[in-house]
Amino acid sequence: MKPAPQPPDDSLQIRCPKLGHQIPFSYCRTENLGLPCSRIMFCWQPYFGVEAYLRRELTPEEWRDTFEKPVQSKVLTLVELIEQAQKSGAKSGRGEKK
């Protein structure tokens, strides 16, 4: 029987195409509000059996939330972040004209 794939320790870091710098697997595993990055399999497959590892570690709901939901465009994500920041600024009293 083949041993279950294990993720590399944090000494192995690869270049993240989203962030543009070196990161360990542990970051990719929880970067999405505790869920894996949606690109984790693409990035880490050359290094270990990442899909088998994630199928073992994630619940079916976590798997769906990570890999089967449509990905938002970057523009839509930025618009939502700007709206959240504006709402947060208005609630804290910042952004009000005096």
Q: Identify whether the C-beta of residue 12 lies closer than 8 Å to the C-beta of residue 46.
A: no
Query: What are the tens digits of pLDDT across the range 40-87?
Result: 999 999 999 999 999 999 999 999 999 988 766 778 778 888 998 998
**What's the CA gap between 35 and 63, in Å, rounded?**
9
Kindly report each contact of residues 16-19 with a partner whose C-beta sits within 8 Å and lies 24 or more positions away, as own/partner.
16/43, 17/43
Query: What are the tens digits of pLDDT across the range 8-47?
Result: 999 999 999 989 999 999 999 999 889 999 999 999 999 9
Which of 24, 4, 28, 26 shows the shortest CA–CA distance to 13? 24
pTM of the model: 0.68
